[in-house]
Amino acid sequence: MATKFPGLSRRSLLKGIGLGSAAAVASGSRPLGLAGIRPVGAQEQRLAKVAIALGTDPRTLMPNAIVDWITGVQIEHITDSALLYDPAEEYRIGPWLTTLSNVDELTWELKLVKPDIRFHNGRVLDASAFKAAIDWAKDPANESHYLERWEVMQEVTVVDPQTLRIKTAEPFPIMDQRLREVHPIDPQYLQEAGAQKMAEQPIGTGPFKFVEWKRGERLVVERNPDYWRNPVQVDRVEFRFIPEFSSRLSALLAEEIEIVKDVPVDSIETVNNSGVARIEAIPSSRINYVGLVNNREDSVLKDVRIRQAINYGVDVDAIIEGVFQGQATRMAGPLSQLNPDVNPEIKPYAYDPEKAQALLKEAGYEPGQLEIVMDAPQGRYPMDSDAAQAIAASLGAIGINVQVQYNEWGTHLDKIVNRRTGDMFYLGWGPSLEAYGTLAFLFVGDSTYSSYTNPDVEARIAEASKTIDPEARRQMWNEIQQMVYDDAGWLFLWQQHDIYGVSNKVDWKPRPDEFVWMGEAKPRTG
């Protein structure tokens, strides 16, 4: 493997883009790649069933078709992805079915971590399965969400059964992000069965085999005894579709299901005291923030002093304590504390109502003079409606009258994209485990969901987006974070905590990347 970056050790390069089983295995306690596969124990314990309650059906079971969390969670039990976020590497993207490396600035190489991985139908996985997946998604006739996202993969070639090469026209440093999304498909099955059948009866290399999908009721998958990575300890996984939250929680307490996501903070005690289930909570890499609109001519928030005043004037810690009962993690700048690209130098704005009022005065507003409408969704993010009210109350105390306008979710998106919100709006973003996916989308003035513009910031982002050298790139991202922090681009709020209710029979831990996966779930003893 040739690298073109003088002055960089191979290892730091590998780390930067999260690849190389050597590096990963050396530093991780978690089994990874070939070397990490656990031997099958003699008296292996298994769970008969794990049922996970979700709000709705998957939109399809065809991999590489639709970007949607609920859909992804279900598909990824059946089929593995090329790469995955690696807990041993601060959740940078690391190897899964394959490793990733650069051949040169424009060429990327995927290599299978193991030669004899098989699809559920017995056929051996090789590089052509990845090519088939990418080609399928890039065919406009298939209307895949990945069509535009994978356009950058200009040329995809199978070098040998173990190796795939991908060429781009320009340097594309976040190739790992895109390849995290690639799920190989058996080209022969696709050809024989067709995409429509595959969307209903998929096969993959994953820890579970498809059994049955009763629309509106459940998706059932069963243990793949020959899983390539580790022995699977759950015989059967059921995804149950229950739209109403309180009904999902009821099902958990009645021991009908084993896992439910998004338990409200005030029900944590109920679950923990139930005797049948417990809470597993984890800070998520999904962030919530309030956009302070400065990319519109008519916004009063074009004045940086008011944006700063808002940041000084909202007692974020008190809201985390009061509304979330501590179940949220404050972020300082625009990236979560979990994000490997976060600038650790940045500290949150201190709560300082006097300073806020002074800044307002400087900007020419007496207390009570400034009226702002804040758009917020209801029930989309944890406690969103309460948090929005608390923010408004906090700002009211420093003399900014904020009127919260709640929207139905579709309307909310519509208003943000068409720039019809008030001068503030509440939004969540993620899971986000690198800088580009957040900064390049939310701090470039005319991008879809952006509320912020600043020519210097945009120039810097453009530059960083083309830089492959990890160290130089990190420098730039750090700088950009500092810039938008100083410029008070948002009201910086918090990372959500993902709060799961988990049956006491099941040993399973959530992850910050929202990857809910039973491939490593175990019976819980004691």
Partner 1 sequence: MSSLAVAVPRAAPSTQRHAARALIRDRWALVAVTFLTVVILAAVLAPLLVPDTVNNPDFRARLKPPLTADHLLGTDQLGRDVFDRMLLGARVSLTVGFVAVFLSAVIGVPIGMLAGYFGGWLDLVLMRLADVQLSFPFILLALTINAIIGLGLQNIIITLVIVGWVEYARIARGEILVTREREFVQAATLVGCSHARILARHLFPNIVTPLIVIGTLQVARFIIAEASISFLGFGVQPPTPAWGSMVSEGLDYIFAAWWLITFPGLALALVALAVNATGDWLRDTLDPRLKR
Partner 2 sequence: MGRFVASRLASGAVVVVLAVTAVFFMVRLSGDPVLLFAPMDTSRKDIDEIRERLGFNDPLVVQYGRFMGDAVQGDFGNSTREQRPATEVVVERLPATVQLGVVALVLSLAIGVPLGVLAATRHGSVWDKVASLIAVAGQAIPGFWLGLLLMLLFAVRLGWLPTSGRGGVQHMVMPAITLAAFSTARYARLARSTMLDVLNQDYIRTAQAKGLAGRSVVWGHAFKNASIPLITMTGLEIGRLLEGAVIVEQVFAWPGIGWVTVQALLNRDFAVVMAAVVLFAVMYTLANLLTDLAYGRVNPQVRQS
Chain residues that interact with partner 1, rule: CB under 8 A: 244-246, 249, 253, 264, 266-267, 269-270, 318, 321-323, 378-379, 385-386, 389-390, 393, 404-411
Q: Which does 393 bind (CB under 5 to 8 A by kind): partner 2, partner 1, none?
A: partner 1
Half-sphere exposure of 392 (CA within 13 A, CB side): 22
Give dist(CA 259, CA 234) in Å, integer: 14
- Cα 58–chain centre separation: 17
Q: Is 236 in the site for partner 2 (CB under 8 A)?
A: no
Q: Is 420 in the site for partner 2 (CB under 8 A)?
A: no
Give dist(CA 340, CA 406) in Å, integer: 33
Burial class (CB in 10 A: 0-12, 13-18, 19+), 345: exposed
Point out which span in 125-133, 216-224, 340-348, 357-365 binds partner 2 (CB under 8 A).
Answer: 216-224
Q: Is 262 in the site for partner 2 (CB under 8 A)?
A: no
Smallest separation (angstroms) from partner 1 to the CB of 510? 20
Q: Which does 216 bind (CB under 5 to 8 A by kind): partner 1, partner 2, none?
A: partner 2
Give dist(CA 19, CA 346) in Å, integer: 28
How many chain residues touch partner 2 (CB under 8 A)? Answer: 46
Q: Which of 169, 254, 318, 462 binds partner 2 (CB under 8 A)?
A: 254
Show Cβ contacts of residue 345 under 8 Å, excluding neighbours closer than 6 positions.
Answer: 478, 482
Residue 433-452 contact track with partner 2, rule CB under 8 A, x = bound: ----x---x----xxxx---
Residue closer to partner 1 by CB (options 409, 449) is 409
For 152, 167, 308, 411, the CA distances from 502, given in Å and listed in that order, are 40, 44, 41, 34
Residues 124-143 within binding reach of partner 2 (CB under 8 A) = 140, 143
Q: Is 250 in the site for partner 2 (CB under 8 A)?
A: yes
Which is nearest to 100 in space by CA: 113, 115, 116? 113
Give dist(CA 128, CA 126) in Å, integer: 5
Which is nearest to 359 in space by CA: 422, 424, 301? 301
The owner of tokens 């795939």 is: 164
Give dist(CA 442, CA 446) in Å, integer: 9
Q: Is 409 in the site for partner 2 (CB under 8 A)?
A: yes
Give dist(CA 34, CA 391) in Å, integer: 50
Give dist(CA 41, CA 495) in Å, integer: 39
Q: Which does 417 bind (CB under 5 to 8 A by kind): partner 1, partner 2, none?
A: partner 2
Q: Which of 1, 159, 417, 459 binds partner 2 (CB under 8 A)?
A: 417
Amino acid identity at 381: Y
Which is nearest to 383 in space by CA: 497, 489, 492? 497
- Residue 56 carries which DSSP code? S
Smallest separation (angstroms) from partner 1 to the CB of 333? 26
Q: Which does 212 bind (CB under 5 to 8 A by kind): partner 2, partner 1, none?
A: none
Q: Is 7 in the site for partner 2 (CB under 8 A)?
A: no
Q: Which does 254 bind (CB under 5 to 8 A by kind): partner 1, partner 2, none?
A: partner 2
Residue closer to partner 2 by CB (options 57, 514) is 57
Binding site for partner 2 (CB under 8 A): 56-57, 59-60, 65-68, 140, 143, 145, 148-149, 196, 199, 214-218, 240-244, 246-247, 250-251, 253-254, 256, 408-411, 413-414, 417, 429, 437, 441, 446-449
